[in-house]
A and B are shown apart, each in its own frame.
Chain A
Amino acid sequence: MEQLIEQLKSQIIEALNFEDMTPADIDTDAPLFGEGLGLDSIDALELIMLMDREYGIKLADPKAGKAIFQSVRTMAEYIQANRTK
């Protein structure tokens, strides 16, 4: 799980263009939306695409994303449970 979390942080940084950030800068349990990284609706859609592209998970309903994208940890746990790649 820790390896997945590290990998996920790198993928998030690249997918969302966080130029000046390293995985060490992202708190595993901090909120991704609102405070924390302050992601917006386009970022949420990009994370949905990331899960499909890297882990073969198709999320049809973007509203389900709210719970999954609470934090890097919740996202990793969801990927662990549902990945097909």
Chain B
Amino acid sequence: MRVSHEIEITPSRVVLSGVPVAVSETGGKMLVELYRRYAGDYPKFFKMDTLCRLGFIGAELLLKQSGISSPVSAIIFANRSASIKNDNDYLATISEGNYYPSPALFVYTLPNIVTGEIAIRHHIQGETSFYILDNPEQLKPIVEASVNPDLTPSTCVLAGWCECSEADTFYAKLQIIWNN
């Protein structure tokens, strides 16, 4: 198992393979700033919830800036809170006195949707998987088994921790991992 590239995103800091990425905003506004600067051609970004925007931006920077989207054959993410932030936003549309369930919000009430958004954006028809674990360390044995050439066909995986509990409380650490 070999890691070739990595990105870490907190509400105030972005570090791409050891190099800080300049940002002037923080929290959710920072994700929008990064979208405008490094993508800007994908209006669907504004439909996404914060968890998806986080994963989308992380993948966008990692794949585009590193110029290696074509070998990626699997996207394997994990977090602890599932889609709780967006779940709460959806709950607000089904309160007893004001019941108007929003389909646009309900779409994002599954944590694995973030892997789907990335697969659609980068045309990746390989595996997409999402795990709920206690911490990022616990993803390692799963990714190892998922990129083992004796066990799966995936030769290159975009994997990592993608966690969001509030609008401006999130953390992501994504890596490109090869099987040799």
Contact = CB atoms under 8 A, between A and B. Distances in A.
Contacts of B64: none
Q: How large is the interface on A (under 10, 10 to 19, 20 to 34, 35 or more residues)?
A: 10 to 19
Interface of A: 15-20, 42-43, 45-46, 49, 52-53
Interface string B161-179: 0000000000000000000
Contacts, number: 28
Contacts of A19: 32, 43, 46
Contacts of A16: 47, 104
Given A16-B47, A17-B47, A43 B100 contact: no
B102 interface: yes
22 contacts: A15-B104, A16-B47, A17-B46, A17-B47, A17-B104, A18-B43, A19-B32, A19-B43, A19-B46, A20-B46, A42-B104, A42-B107, A45-B103, A45-B104, A46-B102, A46-B103, A46-B104, A49-B100, A49-B101, A49-B102, A49-B103, A53-B100
